[in-house]
Amino acid sequence: MLRLLTKSDLHNAINLIGLTANRIIPEEINRTKVSVWAQENRTLKEGPLQGAFSFSFTPFLREIADRLSPSDPCREVVVMKGTRLGATVGVGENWIGATIDAFPCEMAYITSGGDMAGAQMDLRVDSLINNSGIAEKIGNVEKRETQKKTGDRNVRKNFPGGYLMAGGPKAQFIKRAFGFKQLYIDEVDAFQDNIDKEGDPVALYRRRVDTYPDSSKILWTSSPLFKHNSKIYSLYKEGDQRKFFVPCKDCGHMQFLRWGKKDKPGGLKFEHTEDDKLVEGSVYYECEECGSVWTNADKDIFLAKGQWRPTEDRPRNPQIKSYHLPQLYSPIGFRSWESGVRQFLEIKHEGFPILKFQNWVNTFLGEPFENRTERPKIERLLQRSGEYNKGNLPKNAKPLFLTAWADVQKDRIECEIVAHGKNFVTWSVDYLVFYGDTADESSSCYTKFASAVAKSWAGHNIILAGIDAGYNTNIASSFCDNVDLPIYTTMGFERISKLSIKMVALPDFAKSRIEINTAVFKEEIYNNLAKSRQEDGTYPRGFMHFPQNYDRKYYNMLTAEDKVREVKNGVVKIKWDAKSRRNEALDCRVGNLALRNAVRELINDELVGMGEIEEKERVSWDDFWVVMENREG
């Protein structure tokens, strides 16, 4: 009696074919190194380095690529990297090409999304195939240009002895249906911590190569994100943690390129003006041994002489070779040291906004971001109170505009009035509490808040106010629409994509709502509270001034929250937690800083409407301060 083939039968047959093909292929072919194949077969038709492929521009990629050769005993290769280093072309694509041509097998390419996987296959893998002399091995050659034939689709390439499948993190074929000999997992830090409730993606994907326990290969590559849950950083720590050491051009001392520090010899160094502008020609690398100076142009000399060295003698998994590659190694013609320094100085000039600083650490240093924000000490804050009283401003204060934000509780509204100055300096003008039933729009707590917004404070008017709409949303929205004052509803969220605020039009109300990425501003507040007056009597960027008659209760509320790790369903997250402490003052300051950013957005829209800047442009913070200074004057 005939039996219909099941999916399991088909799966076993495919694996059997792959195993048979691997036994038939001559051993000398399997000893081919990926780097040798790339330089003998590959031509680049796109990008800045067109022509015959060579590792001479990116010599640090040769060893990584060769670790993926069948002759190398390591089972996993981890590359924790910055951006613009050529790793996708020099390692990932070359491995795919060598697999198709020299050591065919079942291979999967997994990247951050299904659409991205298809695009990469269409744009990059097809170019690799067409320009490496291996096009005849893919599916039906006669109709290759149509990309519609069996065996040559944008998410699958069939070739003698194997196939390449591409997809996103949730692709069914990578989750359970197929086994593979080789996996290329790209940008793994962008993957969810829990794939469709099936657990950690690293553990999930490792199970897909169980069919080949002694010959499988996995390539993990990614720019790291956050240290507390970075998958690529965790994988890097499992391995031998290799760094690329290069020789000093004068003394020959081998060293790993790193960001320099003022109080320590060696590293990338530079000079800048008081307003954080780079002094042209001042960027150099200092040898940590002899102090000699290198420039970005010297990369042609020392990169070719570099060598990978393990920095962990007893790795947790000896079969993992792990590599850290910061953007300081970016070859000439790619991103320069000067470019990385300029970006850093821009971030410094803006007071280290958390999202921009994180991006620089991830992409330039190639390191996971860890913000060690600590809860400020109350005694220290009490000692730094300014020489002015509530409702006033110090004589030397130079505010550009005032904002007010209100936190809504069941029986009261708590509100802070804040003056904003150049370079993110702030003065708390007053902290007010208005009691009443916040479920009733006619309650005196709303009318008193409106009166506070309408009045002048220390000779200055409030130009923008906000009220929390997270408690009585409809009441707050109705209140804002019915009052003839610049008061907007606001809603707080842990993260809104990569924005600090977002202006959202509400169909049922005249005024927009301001959505606030609260975590960003809490980081800013705690970082600024840690700053002190400088020795010359001036104040650093972002310094926060407070009246001398604010009591301990206020500062307890301002510093009520801690950053804590939370593990839920195996997913690690960092969250802010007040732990039952009252935090209204912190919420009020978050709201006021969000209003400061909202003022900038409104000014930007105004300048676009007047034709002073292009629609796609954004007014810089420096230009914003100038605009506000002119209006204040």
Task: Read off the tokens for 16.
Answer: 């059997």
State pLDDT tens for residues 563-615: 887 766 555 677 889 988 999 999 999 999 999 999 999 999 999 999 888 88
Measuring CA to CA, how many Å separate 266 from each of 113, 198, 290, 330?
A: 40, 46, 9, 19
CA separation for the pair 241, 501 (Å, rounded): 38
Report the pLDDT value the prediction gives residue 5, as an integer from 0 to 100. 56
Task: Of 262, 424, 259, give the one whose Cα is nearest residue 353.
Answer: 424
Two tokens at 37? 């194949």
Average pLDDT over residues 321-350: 95
Which residues touch 294 (CB under 8 Å, ≥6 apart)? 248, 249, 284, 285, 286, 287, 302
Neighbouring C-beta atoms of residue 624, cutoff 10 Å: 20
Cβ count near 392 (within 10 Å): 16
CA distances from 229 to 194, 570, 575 (A): 11, 11, 13
pTM for this model (two decimals): 0.77
Could you give the CA distance from residue 317 to residue 395 in angstroms, rounded to a whole number?
63
pLDDT over threshold 90, residue 140:
no
* pLDDT above 60 for 419: yes
Largest CA distance in the chain: 99
Q: Under 8 Å CB-to-CB from 587, ≥6 apart: which residues?
A: 407, 468, 492
Under 8 Å between Cβ of 226 and 236: no
Any long-range contacts for 190-195 (C-beta under 8 Å, 24+ apart)?
A: 190/112, 190/222, 190/225, 191/112, 191/231, 192/571, 193/229, 193/570, 193/571, 193/572, 194/569, 194/570, 194/571, 195/169, 195/170
Over the stretch 258-293, which tens digit does the pLDDT of each residue have?
Answer: 999 988 999 999 999 988 999 999 999 999 999 999
For the four alpha carbons of 58, 64, 69 and 71, in that order, the dihedral sign comes to: positive
Q: Residue 145 — very low, low, confident or very high, per pLDDT cuts 50/70/90?
A: very low
Other C-beta atoms closer than 10 Å to the C-beta of 459 total 8
CA distance 223 to 240: 18
Beta strands in 50-201 (DSSP E): 51-52, 76-81, 106-110, 152-153, 156-159, 162-167, 182-186
Phi, psi at residue 134, to the nearest 5°?
-120, 10
Q: Where are the alpha helices (DSSP H) in 547-616?
A: 552-558, 584-609
